[in-house]
Chains A and B, each alone.
Chain A
Amino acid sequence: MKRRDFVKKIAGAGALIGFPTLIPARALGRDGNVAPSERLTLGSIGLGGMGIGNTHTFVGDKRVQLVALCDVNNSEGKQFYGYGNNETFGLREAAKRFGADIPQFNDFRELLAKPDIDIITTATPDHWHALIGIACVRAGKDVHGEKPLTRTIREGQALRDAVWGSGRIWQTGSWQRSMEHFKRAAEIIRNGNLGQVKRVVIGLPSNFKAESLDEVPVPAGMDWEMWQGPAMRTFYNPRKIFTRWRGISNYCAGKISDWGAHHLDITHWALGFDNWGPDEIVPNSVTWPTDGFSDQPLKFSVTLHYKGGIEVEISDSNRNGVEFFGTKGKLFVSRENIFSDPINIADIRIFPTEDRLYPIRRDNAHVSAFIDSVLDRRATATDIGVAHRTNTGCLLAEMAYRLNRPIKWDPKTETVIGDEEAARLCDRAYHAPWELSI
């Protein structure tokens, strides 16, 4: 991509004695008015709730101009029924919100063929993440991809290798890493203020309760075949498209990867496991539903064992957030709170000379941080390698409770040790006409 010209000369900058009168590109995010011809051009793939939300955030950054929309849902009317919510998502709604003159696509491959697109934001169900991600970086785009990274570990490796080989910028939507207090928690722990961390307790929301979904005719304008893509073919129900796909293992591993992509990510960050993984994954308990559309557990608890004897317990019975237990105290961090016992640990000052993490934006804006990275050609805080390790941890936890037995894992070679059946769950066949290219 040709690096764009974002800098605007300011009037009366004489105040900067002895310094050239220019605005640094990175600082232009909020107040700078950038001419449309000089903006980064954005294509948005997947326009459900998350996709439309992300696209709003992107166009809120004045350095970005939206030039293409893509979704398989081009049907009329309200599809988001049954939730007391009258919002409609999909291509038509997006066109209504962002402008009917923006070119629209049903097939992401047509969007990627456009050479005038610089960056892509994708928010599709998980079973699409690897294929679309690889296609994007292959087409020379920088990508903001939603979490969890992929549906299987093998897909994660393929996507990671493709991004690494392409020289493209990748950011995963695990936005907790752009929040000041999560960064703070990670820095506190990395600098040994909790002493040696031996145990981490992660709380996630529970999976969907069992409910039945009936077969419903596919409405006109809805490309159900494309929505399913590489996943196994099955019947259509509009609820599947809106949120309930998270409860179906065909598309998603469930809350363990959905929220694990946030909280396990923070755990890895704080413990320095960004390029590592667990040695052993032990399921503590799992309760399966007895009926209904969802094949995810109603309740689960899994413990991930890391080197140095660190145990990370993930369960939907714990309080939502991450709690670190160290030899000098404990620290709890969630989206709302950070606090510690003893109290002063949570607010300890980290000196510039200590182990500091990637500086985050003052406004904690994850999407704008991605734009910064695209402009600076610098790795993002939730780069592909990091996201892959987080996702791997989550998927191993899923495999362990599915098999209901401990799994041994070699984080160096990224292979299951001595359990051929577990190893089978790392990969998955695709429905035609889709295949991984790497």
Chain B
Amino acid sequence: MKKIAFFAALIMSFSAFADSYADMSSYKPGGSTAWFFSLYGESHATKKKGEEVEAGILAEMEKAPLDTEAFRLACEILKPIAGDKSVPVLKKFLKDPKYCAPACDVLLAVNSSDAADALESSLDGADTGCAMSIISTLASMGKGGDAIAKIAKGGDKALAPFAVVALGRLGTNDACASLGEIVEAGGEYKAAAIEALSNLAWRAFLSGKVPLAKRALKFVPDDYVGAVVVRGEISKDRQAYFDSVIIAGGPAVEPAARAMNKGRDFEKSAKLMQAFPKLSKESKLAAIGSFMETGDVRYYPVIAPELASEDDDILAEAIYAARFICADKEALRSILEIYRSGHKPYSDLALLVLEENPSMQISQLLKENDGDIDVLKILVKRGDIDARSALWKKFFTKDGWKDKKISSAVEKTIAYGELPAFASNFKKVKDEGLRGEMMKIIAKKLASSRDKNFMKTASKEIFKDNISKEDKLYIDTMSKLGILEKQVWQKGYGNAVDDRLMKVSTAKEPKRDSSFVSLFDGKTLDGWKTSTGNAKYSVEDGCILGVTDPEMKQNSFLITERDDFKDFIFTCEFKWVEHGNSGIMFRGQRKNNGKGDVHGPQCEIDNSKRAWTAGLYHEGGPWKYSVSREDHEAARNAVKLNDWNRLTIYCKGDKIRTWLNGVPVVDYDWGEFKQGFFGLQIHAGKKCKVLWRDIYVKELK
């Protein structure tokens, strides 16, 4: 409560603002840091405010010992705004290990001569930790060289090596001289001084002070690996220097080669290229790497003989270099061979070379072999338009899409941008299977983005003018992707088919005449057999009676022994004795899954409220045609729950039609099942008894 009141006051007047510093000293870890955020925002808003805040914080720092976290946060505010006024106050904290580092941080920011004096004069009598913070702060400021040099030459075991490093970072002429003296004196810190000098030389070179770098390197032994880069960079001819190091071999090869990976000049590489065949392994690898980095194909002839190298690493490097600098057809042919060998670990590497090598030689080489689907794939990846057409052509041949290799190649190499062109083939393609396959590819590609908005825009562009919005495939795919909302007039049935995917049949029911053949003799079940499930089928009073077994988990079917009914008109009558779900299989088939599950088209017999009798269901799949559109009203009303009903099914080619008591219901194209048996279903469930009679079929030629 106190704090909220304080905030309100803070906004209103400066007197309250001053109070905020009092809050600072009451800071406890885990307590409020509100003061920090208020001051933080205020202090950086205007310069004037900044000065006020500085004065306030300094007063607070002097008043009471602050918690370390509060002190750190206070220094964070001070850091950008502190002036020389802060120096005397902060100086008081330099000998306290708890506060020294944050105080140093602010003084480093102030970086005035006052600040440097404050730091230097605090070195005397400071403990080791504080002295270290002070030394490293002075070095960062580029000040206090004499004091640091004195400590570096002194005997303090902790501080002397610390000061040696600081001298290296200080990077002045004097620091360089002091370090030189330490090296020449040959004492305990000689190695540290050599490292500091090579650091100093490197930094000096990077900031354009080459003479200083040279002076520092005088004290560094010639074979000191840590200085090889800077030595090369400042030498008159850097490439000559680095190449001579590479040729000489040894531990300096790596830094030299890495440095030389930038700015190599072909004309100046003659010496290294000449020496190449006789180089040590280490040097050879470094040289190949260095050549590779240039992207200059003129180097590859030197490397090419290494394709027969006895050494595994050199060979590997030589192959890999082909990705960047090889335009040699024979070498590339060998790499194609590796790819074709299919040995997984290396065919991958070879593939990388084949796909990425910029040389047109590769394209030519591949085109000599472009009958191969794998080669086509590489060519497509390389952006070859002809190869893409060839791949599509293969796909669009009669059974090309059934070849999984071609199909997946098309799927993998086709791009979003090409989908509209790909989809434009819809108009030309009659084969439903191929159309389905094309749709699958497009759907997969679209679904690879989780972004629905994107899918919407993309699908619009892909299908624009290519496919009718009423096309079953289009609606089906789009609703599966969730792009199109499902439209169902009859509410409340999740498995109903989208209204747009169904059209109401207007065909007249064919009359049963003498050309029809009976499938049931009225006395026996000759010509019929049971399949899955354990419902009881018997002959009662000239009818077939099916009765469910309440325990059964699987649907039962009484199926015809003949299973090659192809095109036909089928008709029968049924009546419920006890209401339950049932249906008539046609073109039915049994799965090859060990259990012989029945699947295929089913003409529904439905006693429930939704009244989908004569609808088309895919046993073992989803609904194909539910009787759920508004204009299905007549069909839904046609069912008689307590009397005989007549079902008629017409099947020719892909066309499927049904009638219920003379009312046309299904008009659907479905080519998946070409032929099969008829089956009388008793659905698994507690209750169900159904009678069938007058079962006739007329086969169509």
Which positions in A face B, CB cutoff 8 Å?
Answer: 1, 3, 5-7, 10, 13, 15-20, 22-32, 138, 154, 161-162, 164-167, 212-215, 232-235, 237, 249-250, 288-293, 295, 336-337, 339, 341-353, 356, 359, 362, 376-379, 402-405, 421-422, 424-425, 427-438
Contact = CB atoms under 8 A, between A and B. Distances in A.
A424 B316 contact: no
Name the residue among A291, A433, A435 with the largest chain B CB count within 10 angstroms. A435
Interface in B45-68: 45, 68
6 contacts: A25-B316, A27-B345, A165-B199, A212-B31, A377-B254, A430-B136
B430 interface: no
Contact of A7 (B81, B165, B313): B313
B345 A32 contact: yes
Contact of A347 (B32, B281, B360, B415): B415
Contacts of B451: 336-337, 339
Given A13-B341, A27-B348, A437-B165, 14 more contacts: A20-B308, A27-B346, A165-B198, A167-B228, A167-B229, A232-B75, A232-B102, A235-B29, A235-B30, A291-B37, A352-B362, A353-B360, A429-B136, A437-B195
A121 to B, nearest CB: 20
A337 B315 contact: no
A31 B348 CA distance: 12
A210 to B, nearest CB: 9
Interface stretch (B454-462, B469-477, B689-697): B454-462
A249 B76 contact: yes
B187 interface: no
Nearest to A24: B316
Interface stretch (B126-134, B562-570, B581-589): B126-134
Nearest to A29: B345
B135 A435 contact: yes
Given A249-B76, A429-B133, A359 B337 contact: no
B168 interface: yes
B383 A5 contact: no
Contacts of B108: 424, 427-429
A18 B457 CA distance: 52
Contacts of B133: 429-432
Given A20-B308, A362-B352, A346 B417 contact: yes
A7 B316 CA distance: 9
A292 B73 CA distance: 13
A344 B417 contact: yes
Nearest to A404: B44
Interface in B372-424: 382-383, 415-418, 420
A376 B258 contact: no
A377 B246 CA distance: 14
B358 A352 contact: yes
Contact of B33 (A291, A403, A427, A433): A291
B72 interface: yes
A6 B101 contact: no
A382 B609 CA distance: 66
Contacts of B383: 349-352
Contacts of A378: 289, 292-293
B140 A429 contact: yes
Q: Which 3 A-B pairs have the closest CB atoms?
A: A167-B255, A344-B417, A7-B312
Contacts of B635: none
B7 to A, nearest CB: 8
Nearest to A338: B449
B109 A359 contact: no
A10 B105 CA distance: 60
Contact of A15 (B341, B357, B358): B341
A339 B454 contact: yes
A359 B139 contact: no
B699 interface: no
A341 B461 CA distance: 11
B37 to A, nearest CB: 5
A207 to B, nearest CB: 13
Interface in B210-266: 226, 228-230, 254-259, 261
Contacts of B257: 167, 377
Interface of B: 7, 28-34, 36-38, 40-41, 44-45, 68-69, 72-73, 75-76, 79-81, 97-98, 100-102, 104-105, 107-109, 111, 128-133, 135-137, 139-140, 158, 162, 165-166, 168-169, 195-196, 198-199, 202-203, 206, 226, 228-230, 254-259, 261, 281-282, 285-286, 289, 292-293, 307-309, 312-313, 315-317, 319-320, 323, 334, 337-338, 341-346, 348-349, 351-352, 355-360, 362, 382-383, 415-418, 420, 449-451, 454, 457-458, 461-462
A430 B101 contact: yes
Contacts of A165: 198-199, 202, 226, 229-230, 255
Contact of B129 (A292, A295, A432): A432
Nearest to A424: B109
Nearest to B330: A18
A161 B202 contact: yes
B101 A429 contact: yes
Given A337-B454, A429-B137, A430-B133, A31 B345 contact: yes
B457 A343 contact: yes
Q: What secondary structure prevails in chain A residues at the interface with B?
A: loop
Contacts of A337: 449-451, 454
B95 to A, nearest CB: 12
A339 B449 contact: yes
A295 B33 contact: yes
Contacts of A352: 355-359, 362, 382-383
Contact of B417 (A32, A214, A343, A436): A343
Contacts of B81: 421
Nearest to B255: A167
A292 B81 CA distance: 24
Given A341-B457, A430-B136, A359 B202 contact: no
Nearest to A340: B416
Nearest to B355: A352
Given A165-B202, A167-B259, A212-B30, A250 B289 contact: no
A17 B337 contact: yes
Nearest to A169: B258
Contacts of B357: 352
Contacts of B352: 359, 362
Nearest to B257: A377
A230 to B, nearest CB: 9
B345 A28 contact: yes
A295 B231 CA distance: 45
A140 B356 CA distance: 33
A28 B458 CA distance: 40
A20 B315 contact: yes
A8 to B, nearest CB: 8
Contact of A433 (B107, B132, B206, B229): B132
Nearest to A346: B416
Contacts of A290: 7, 34, 37-38
Contact of A377 (B28, B166, B289, B349): B289
B45 A404 contact: yes
B75 to A, nearest CB: 8
A402 B40 CA distance: 8
A434 B80 CA distance: 23
Contact of A427 (B41, B140, B198, B226): B140
Contacts of A214: 29-30
A167 to B, nearest CB: 3
A166 B226 contact: yes
Contacts of A433: 128-129, 132, 158, 162
B42 to A, nearest CB: 10
Contacts of B351: 362
A432 B653 CA distance: 88
A351 B44 contact: no
B168 A161 contact: no
Nearest to B312: A7
A31 B342 CA distance: 13
Contacts of B315: 7, 20, 22, 24
Nearest to B380: A349
